[in-house]
Amino acid sequence: MPRLTLKGLGKAYGKVKVVDDVDLTLEEGEFVSLLGPSGCGKTTTLRMIAGFVEPTAGSISMNGAVLSSPGAVMPPEKRRMSMIFQSYAIWPNMTVAENVGFGLTLQKLSASEIKARVAKILEVVQMSHLADRYPAELSGGQQQRVALARAIVVQPAVLLLDEPLSNLDANLREEMRFEIRRLHEEFRVTTVYVTHDQSEAMATADRIAVMNGGRIEQVDAPHVIYTRPKTRFVAAFIGRTNLVEGQLDGEEVGLDGFALRLGQLHSVIPGSKRPILLSVRPQSMALHREKPLGRDGYPVLPVTVAQRTYLGESWDYVVRPEDSGLRLRVAAPPLQVHDVGDSVWLEIDPQQIAVVN
């Protein structure tokens, strides 16, 4: 039986639908990220799961029992869920150990059991040496570890995280996203993680639910979301891509200045002439000074370098194919240096091209 089920879930304020007909199922121990831009409905969805917001449509169930439906909402404190907010919400007048043990105190456990469980979780989050410190004496990353420890130590059925890393600097965010994944692999708590940062979602989640305009556009594993986006929005929102319009005509896709054979593309059905949209990732193309011999089915065409940006780990080139109005972004290794205006050859891997609905 699934741990958590959202069925036809909706929330409207007057005529404005903030969340619209959301269906999502989480299995026991699964980590799912709700990913999308500000205002897409992801935080409202999380707050409905937590019991802070009443849905106007649909239902939320845990282990088969309905927790929320219009007019009937189980209070948050009865849901066996832990929630971590952007602000961490740790008490400034309590030590690290007291903060972590507070939920266990409310459960009326014995002092010896509270002490043992707090000691164990502090060791797991590498905070044992700071057990007697107060929050004001901790860094942002350390405060986040306290919030995680406090949420996990009560052994919740579901863990909810609302943009938990948004207040940290870039280096700490990267460190903590891997820490969150490490803790998940150790405890396997069913987790819903809200973020607008695709790197966080990619690094932490088993599956990503991409939201737009209150709806879920695609739910898949991170690598599937990236390599096989199903909609224009998902393709553009996840990573960088070139959205190229073409014409499907029988066994060929005609593009501006060149064509692709249908057999080169992934799971495209031949058909009569119709528009088609392709997502071509910068990493699916390569630049060469000399014309490559070409692998079977790999289109090779002459291009001019129109723009370049050095990103440290790679070059971000914009190239313009000859006799074409296209401008394509291409990723290249840091030592592959081309000047603006250079004439080079572009090689495309068609197996990495995704057809977008």
Please report the pLDDT score of residue 267 as a whole number: 62
Q: Are residues 220 and 257 in the same domain?
A: no
The CATH number covering residue 70 comes to: 3.40.50.300
Q: What is the CATH number of the domain that holds 296?
A: 2.40.50.140
247: three-class secondary structure by DSSP: strand
What pLDDT score was predicted for residue 357?
76
* pLDDT for residue 222: 97
Is residue 95 situated within a structural domain?
yes
Claim to verify: residue 157 and residue 17 sit in the same structural domain: yes
Same domain for 218 and 269? Answer: no
Asked if residue 21 belongs to a domain, the reply is: yes
Summarised one tens digit per residue, pLDDT across range 8-17 is 999 999 999 9
- Residue ranges making up the domain that contains 273: 242-356
Give domain status of residue 302, yes or no: yes
pTM of the model: 0.90
Residue 325: DSSP 8-state: -
d(CA 221, CA 290): 38
Counted domains in the chain? 2
Do residues 243 and 234 lie in contact, with contact meaning Cβ atoms separated by under 8 Å?
no
**What was the pLDDT predicted at 256?**
87
Q: How far is residue 58's CA from residue 308's CA, in Å, rounded to a whole number?
A: 49
Q: Could you tell me if 50 and 184 lie in one domain?
A: yes
| Mean pLDDT of all residues belonging to the chain | 92
23 and 157 both lie in a single domain: yes
pLDDT at residue 5, as a whole number: 97
Same structural domain for residues 178 and 223?
Answer: yes
Could you tell me which of 124, 195, 192 has the C-alpha nearest to residue 158? 192
* Domain presence at residue 93: yes
What pLDDT sits at residue 298?
A: 85
Check whether residue 175 and residue 265 sit in a common domain.
no
Count CA within 13 A, CB hemisphere, residue 250.
Answer: 1
* 3-state SS record for 49-96: HHCCCCCCEEEEEECCEEEEECCEECCHHHCCEEEECCCCCCCCCCCH
**End residue of a domain, out of 161, 195, 228:** 228
In a domain, 237, yes or no: no
Which residues, given as ranges, of the chain have pLDDT below 70? 1, 266-271, 294, 297
- Contact (CB, 8 A) for 331 and 282: yes
List b or e across 26-50, with b for residues whose CB sees 16 or more CB atoms inside 10 angstroms: beeebbbbbbbeeebbbbbbbbbbb
